[in-house]
Chain A
Amino acid sequence: MKKKYIVVLGILALLLIIAVGGITYYKERISLDEEQSYPEPFTLDKGYEIWLFNGEEWVDASDQEYFQAYSLVSINVNFQKLDIPYDPFVYCYYTDLNEEGVVCNERSGSAFLGINLGKLETPLDKEIFKLIKVSVFPDNNFHELDEFVLLDLDGKLLIK
C-alpha cells in the first residue's frame, strides 16, 4: 500500500516539475519576442522621444498631448540635444507613469547619451499626468536654487 503512495507521489512530483519547466520556457520565449518589437531608442533627432504602441507598431508620439488610458508608451531623453549648464551633473527625473518617484543619477555630459524609461503605461485615474520631468543639479546636495529643469512634459487623458 505504501509503495502505491510512493509511486503516485513520484508521478505527481514529476508532473509538477514538467509543468513548472514548461511555464518557465514559454515565459522566456515570450519575453524575447517582446524585446524584438521594442523601438530602438534615440533614432529621432530630438531632445526627447515618446513612442506609442498603436497595437501593431511603435509610432512617434513626441508631439502628442492626449493619450488613451493604459496606452503603452516608451520615453527617451537625449541629453546630448539639451543644454545642460553643469558637467558633471546629477539628473533627476519623475514620471506619473510608474511608481518609482524621483530617480536621480550622477553622470558626466560628454559620454552620456540619455535615459530610456522603457515601456510605460498611461494612467486611468489622472486627467493630467506628468509624462516626464527632468532636472539637473551640479552635485548631489540637491540645492533647490541649483535645479535646472531640462524637460517638463504633461500628458492629458483622452476621454471619449
Chain B
Amino acid sequence: MNKRINTILLISFFLILFTNSVALGAKKPYVCNWQTGTCYRDTYDDGDYKTLEECQRKCSAASTTTTTKKQGAVDPSGYYICHKCMGGECMTIDSKEPCTTNCSACEKYTCKTCSFGKCESKTFNSPCSNSCEWQSDCSGVQCFKCLGTQCKATSELTPGSCIDECTGPEQCGGSSVPTTEDPFGKESGWYCEHSSGQKYGTCVYKKTLKTTFYTEEACLANCTFCNYCNKQYLGLWGDWHCLKNAKTCRSINDDQCQKDSDCENGTPTPELPPPAIRYACNTTTWQCTESSSGSYSTLSSCQTNCKKPTPSTRYSCNTTTWQCSKDPSGPYTSLSSCQANCKKPTPSTRYSCNTSTGQCYPDASGKYSSSSSCQASCKKSPPPLPSPTCSINKFELPNHVWTGVDYEAKWSTNSDCKWGEITCKLGDKDCGDNETLSGNVTVGSIDHEKSFHITTPGVYTYQLKACYDKDNENTCVTWEDTLGTELDYIEVQAVNLPWWQEIIPVLPDKLQGFLRGLIS
C-alpha cells in the first residue's frame, strides 16, 4: 500500500513540475532594452519575461519620465512608454496598449570603410561590416562599389582615390530582395557563423541583430576569414601577433601575415602596384621625358602636344599716322581689331543740357549742335512734387481672446491713407469664417475701432495694410511694431471659454453671484 502511495505521489510531483513548466511558461521570450525602453523577442526564447505585457510594464517603468497626477490621474506605471521612428527621430508615445512600434528604423550603423585612401568610420542606415581596419587596407587599387544589389570590389586607375560606397549588399538597395522584418527589431537574413581559427564560416538563415545578408551568395562571399596583424597587450607593452583566420577577407589571399614575425613593425605594408609611366613636356627643350607627375599618359600624346609654339603676328596703332603696322609686341592680335580701334578721335561738336544744373556740356551724342542753341533751351527743371505718404500710427489687438466673446480692434493712420485692409491667417490658411475682423477697413486721420469676435480656437495672425492708392503698391504701407519686436503682424490666441463662464450667464442672478464668489 505504501509503495502505491509513494508511486502516486512521485507521479504527482513530476506532473506538477511538467504542468508548471508548460502551462505557466518556462519559456521567457521577451527581453527589455533598458536604453530605449522597448521589448524585443529573443530568437531562442532565452529572455527575461514570459509575456510582452510583463516585459513592457517593467521596461517602460524604468524609462518613464516625470509624470504628474491630477484629478484621479492614472498611475504612471499603467502606461507603456513606447517609441516610434518619425522623420528619422526616435519619438516617445504614451500608450495604454503594449508597444507595437520601436525605434529600430532610426538606428544608425557605423563601420570602418575606405574614404580617399583612409580607413574611416562611416554611418549607414542598415547593418554593415568593417571593410578596412588599417589605413594600409585602403591603399590598394580596389574600391567597393554597388553593382546592382551587390557590393563588389572594382579596380580603380589611381590608387587611394576611390571612396567605398558599401561594405556589403545591405547598402546596395538590397530591399528588392524580400526580407521578413521582425516587429521587435531583428531581421531575418543570412548570417555568417564563424568558429575561431577556421578559414571558412557557415552561412545560416536566422533572425539576428547582427549583420545579415540578403542572399546566401553574399553571405558566403563574406564568410571567409584571413590572417591579420594584431597588437596584443600583456602589461604596458604590446606584441604583434599574426591572428590566423580572424578577419573577414576582402579578397582571396588577403592574408596580412603568415607568422608573428611578419608583424614585427605592425601591419606589413602591402606592395604597392607598379607606378604607371607618365610623360611630361620639357618646355625648354620641347622634348618629352618620363615623369610620375606628367600630364600625358602616352608618349605619342605628349609628342603631339610638346611643340614649340610659333610666334603669332601682332599689330600696333601708330597714333601719328593712325595706321596699323606689324609689331611683335603690339596689343592687337589681328589687323582688323587694330584698324577698328586705330582711329583719330573727332572733337565733340555737339552739346547736351544738364537739367539739374541748367548748364550745357559737350557731348558727342548731344541734342544740340551749338553751345548757344543749347543754352537757349537749357533750363533747370522744377523739383518733383512730393507724393502723398501714407503711414500707420497705431494697430492694437488683444493677444488672448475667448472664443465667441466680442473684443475691440483699434487703429489709426494719417490723412494720406485712403484705403485700408486687415488680413488674417490661421496657420498657413486664410481665417475664413472663423473670425469677423478681417476685410476692408476705413482709414484716415481719426482713430478707428471695430468690434470683432473669433469663433474657433487657434492662433490668428493679423496684418494691417493702408494705401494712398490701392492700385499702386509704392503708396502702401504695412503696420510694423515700433516697440522693438519689428514684427509686422499681431498674433491673437483664441481659446475656448471655460465651462463655468459659459454656464454662469444663463443662471439666475443670485446663483451667478454665488458661483462667482465660489470660483474666485
What's the Cα separation between A135 and B95 when bound, in Å?
17
Docked CA distance A147–B402 (Å): 11
Contact B12 A24 (CB under 8 A): no
Whether the Cβ atoms of A41 and B95 lie closer than 8 Å is yes
Asked if A111 and B90 sit within 8 Å, CB to CB, the answer is yes
**A3 vs B4: C-alpha distance when bound (angstroms):** 10
Known: A80-B86, A101-B73, A104-B73. A42 touches B93 (CB 8 A): yes
Residues of A in contact, count (CB < 8 Å): 52
- Rounded to whole angstroms, the CA-CA distance of A95 and B82 in the bound complex is 21
Q: Would A3 and B68 be within 8 Å (CB), given that A83-B458, A115-B93 are in contact?
A: no
Cα-based distance from A111 to B37 in the complex (angstroms)? 14
Q: Are A35 and B100 in contact (CB under 8 A)?
A: yes
B138-146, B160-168, B490-498: which lies at the interface: B490-498
The answer to the question of A6 belonging to the interface, with a C-beta cut-off of 8 Å to chain B, is yes
Q: Map CB proximity to B onto A1-36 as digits: 1 under 8 Å, 0 otherwise.
A: 001001100110110011011101100100110010
Interface membership of B1, Cβ < 8 A: yes
The answer to whether the Cβ of A71 comes within 8 Å of any Cβ in the partner chain is no
A41→B84 contact, CB < 8 A: yes
Q: Smallest CB-CB separation from B9: which chain A residue?
A: A10
Interface residues of A in 96-118 (CB under 8 A from B): 100-107, 111-118
Minimum Cβ distance to chain A for residue B204 (Å):
27
Question: How many residues of B are in contact with the other chain, CB < 8 A?
Answer: 52
Q: Is there contact, CB below 8 Å, between A116 and B82? A: yes
Quick check: B91 and A85 within 8 Å, CB to CB? no
**Do B94 and A116 touch across chains, with their CB atoms under 8 A apart?**
yes
Q: Is the CB of B15 within 8 A of A41?
A: no
Interface of B toward A, CB cutoff 8 Å? 1, 5, 8-9, 12, 15-16, 19-20, 22-25, 50-53, 65-74, 76, 79, 82, 84, 86, 89-98, 100-101, 427, 457-459, 493, 495-496, 498
What are 13 of the A-B contact pairs (CB < 8 Å)? Answer: A3-B5, A13-B12, A14-B15, A14-B16, A21-B20, A28-B25, A35-B100, A85-B493, A105-B73, A106-B67, A114-B94, A140-B68, A149-B457
Chain A interface (Cβ < 8 Å from any Cβ of B): 3, 6-7, 10-11, 13-14, 17-18, 20-22, 24-25, 28, 31-32, 35, 38, 40-42, 74, 80, 83, 85, 90, 92, 100-107, 111-119, 140, 142, 144, 147-149, 152
